[in-house]
Structure 1
Amino acid sequence: MVGRARGVVTAVVAFALLVLLWELAKLVLPDDGVLVGGTRVLPRTDDAAMPHVWTVLGRLVEPEVAGAATTRTVGAAVASGALFTLGLALGGLVLGGVLGMVLALAMQRFGLLERAALPYVVASQTVPLIAIAPLVVGWGGKIAIAGWTWQPWASVMVIASYLAFFPVAVGMLRGLNSPAKADVELFRTLAASWWTTLLRLRLPASVPFLLPAVRLAAAASVVGAIVAEISTGTRGGIGRLIIEYAQSATGDPSRLYTAILGAAVLGLVAAGAVGLLDIGLRRYRGSVR
């Protein structure tokens, strides 16, 4: 409990320092930035590029569309988009996490598969999401199962899972291979099957490696969901809000920063949700040797 409270306090202090540095940069640096030999080495700090923090927070309580019949605040729009994106990101996390775990189990079981597949697993993360998004949308558009047709949100979830599976697969594979040789030999001496060794030794030993990997995958799935929403034009999420608010950024840049702030908070929420898994698996924290 003390360690968890310390983590919360550290996060709050880090956010306060970030705000302080932001305002300090606006105060110290010139509005046009710093140019050296015609090259801008420090960004512009005027209100059109870096609005004050209190200006951004103030936009959250203002109407999204002035004079509309139904007034929805910018904060409500950001919260609604963040929840929509969070659902897709968590779906992608589950899909990618299950795929990563199954792949890790298969690679640990068959050494030849590990040597053959692991390089391609690593290389898969070098392909940009912008190149993958049209392919997923195009392939998904041809899928129709029992009257159900592929929806844009399904493409977003698949793309989010693409980023989530990698850290889970690598982290769990490392954890499955982490038991000491003496422990593995003891199970072999007792004629334990691979399945028994997996359940009694390898899976418990993999938990300390898996939890950080899942936390990283949660943040990656949020990034993947937001980029996928922007790439595919999916409506309802925080990615779409970023596009819409960016179009009016010249006249009101602070509104764009509200969407960016919502995306940042969304990543923290997704990573923090993994803490529930950490609590449930607390008994295995000391399994690493």
Structure 2
Amino acid sequence: MSATSATAAPAPATAPPPTAPRSGSARPRAAAASLMRSAPLAAVASVLAVGSAWEAYKLLGPADGLMVGQTRLLPRTSDLAMPHTWDMAARLFEPVSGGAGAPPLWSAVLRAGAASLGVAAVGWLLGLVVGMLLALAMQRVRIVESAVLPLVVLSQTVPLVALAPLVRSWGARLEVGPVQWAPWMSVAVIASYLAFFPVAVGMLRGLQSPTTIHADLMRAYGAGWWPTLLRLRLPASVPYLLPALRLAAANAVVGAVVAEVATGLPGGLGRMIVEFAAFSASDPAKPWAPIFGAVALGLAAAGLVALLGTSLRRFRRLEAAR
């Protein structure tokens, strides 16, 4: 048999082309990593923008501000009313007072911030428990949502300055055995008053986020309310709950500082703001130190809650879908 008439050997099977990796899950992770890398730069840029706007108004604004009748619409640009940003930053590294051996101002602000942070943390935890319980009750019983949700919204219209003395007066009358109501407890309750609202609203929205198909599937499996809550509604509420927790942390700091001012609790940033306000004429950069401390404290509290939320990243399916 000739070579031309011989049956040709089968050609070797070609390897299938490599399958492109799925980008459905890689794209959100890459976007989240890029956002995490750019977040510090965005924070620094925002601080620089605020400082630049401050200095630009001080340079170009009217020296006496703008008055319309008896109402001042724009502040004065004098050094007493608006010290330079570099003067306020330099003042942080100077002694608190003129006495010899006085600690630097930043250390006093740091100690006061630690005291306020501890009280705010207790208020945040209390607000978290109250907000979650309210959200669960409103999701479980529709009539509770109709009755309680408007009250939850209306509760935030009460000014803290008017509420703080009442809470302190009520708390001073409480006594359970050897345990007496301490003044810082009133501040923690007021902080929780601001913290529970975003938790209740955010978690309620998250608990109601599962579609009808998912709820019907759980009913088809014979799952009751409790298994449905643990396996469906709580995981679905995480993307809504985490931003609410960060907002609640910032609100708790605001509530703690305002309550310290209203109740006169010593040792915190609120009391320091009141005390340093007396130096606005002689040392105009000094009263800004506790204000900066309160801002940094709110950012730190929100950042700590964001770090805690990294353990729940696998439940953030709705954020990844965006």
Q: TM-score range by the shorter chain?
A: over 0.9
Structure 1, unpaired ranges of 5+: none
CA apart distance, 1:40: 3.7
Q: Distance in 2 between matches of 1:157 and 1:275?
A: 21
Q: Percent identity?
A: 53
Q: Which residue in the other structure is 1:66 paired with?
A: 98
CA apart distance, 1:36: 5.4
TM-score, length-scaled by structure 1: 0.96
Q: Which residue in the other structure is 1:222 paired with?
A: 253
Larger mean CA deviation between 2-11 and 241-250 belongs to 2-11
What does 1:111-260 align with in structure 2 at a 5 Å threshold?
111-260=142-291
For 1:52, which of 67, 73, 84 is the aligned residue? Answer: 84
**Greater relative contact order (CA < 8 Å, ≥ 6 in sequence):** 1
Give the letter for the 1:74 counterpart: L
CA apart distance, 1:145: 2.4
For 1:26, which of 54, 58, 68 is the aligned residue? Answer: 58
Q: Does residue 1:10 correspond to 2:42, yes or no?
A: yes
| Larger Rg over CA atoms | 2
Q: Which residue in the other structure is 2:20 paired with?
A: none
Q: Distance in 2 between matches of 1:223 and 1:196?
A: 37
Q: Distance in 2 between matches of 1:36 and 1:138?
A: 41
Give the letter for the 1:143 counterpart: L
Secondary structure (helix, strand or coil) at the match of 1:200 reads: helix
Deviations 1:159-208 (A, max 9, x none): 00000001100100000000000000010111101000000000000000
For 1:262, which of 293, 296, 304 is the aligned residue? Answer: 293
Q: Does residue 1:98 correspond to 2:129, yes or no?
A: yes
Secondary structure (helix, strand or coil) at the match of 2:316 reads: helix
Question: CA contact under 8 A between 1:64 and 1:71: conserved in structure 2?
Answer: yes
Q: Distance in 2 between matches of 1:123 and 1:182?
A: 34
Change (3 A) 1:279 1:113: same
CA apart distance, 1:134: 1.2
Deviations 1:39-80 (A, max 9, x none): 543211110000001111111111112125x41211111111
Deviations 1:108-165 (A, max 9, x none): 1111111111111111111111111111111111122231211111111000000000
Question: CA contact under 8 A between 1:204 and 1:287: conserved in structure 2?
Answer: no
Runs of 4+ more than 6 Å apart: none
Secondary structure (helix, strand or coil) at the match of 2:99 reads: coil
Q: Distance in 2 between matches of 1:238 and 1:135?
A: 21
TM-score, length-scaled by structure 2: 0.86
Q: Which residue in the other structure is 2:23 paired with?
A: none
Structure 2, unpaired ranges of 5+: 1-32
Larger mean CA deviation between 109-118 and 229-238 belongs to 109-118
Secondary structure (helix, strand or coil) at the match of 1:281 reads: helix
Q: Distance in 1 between matches of 2:128 and 2:304?
A: 14
| Alignment: residue pair count | 288
For 2:108, which of 59, 77, 80 is the aligned residue? Answer: 77
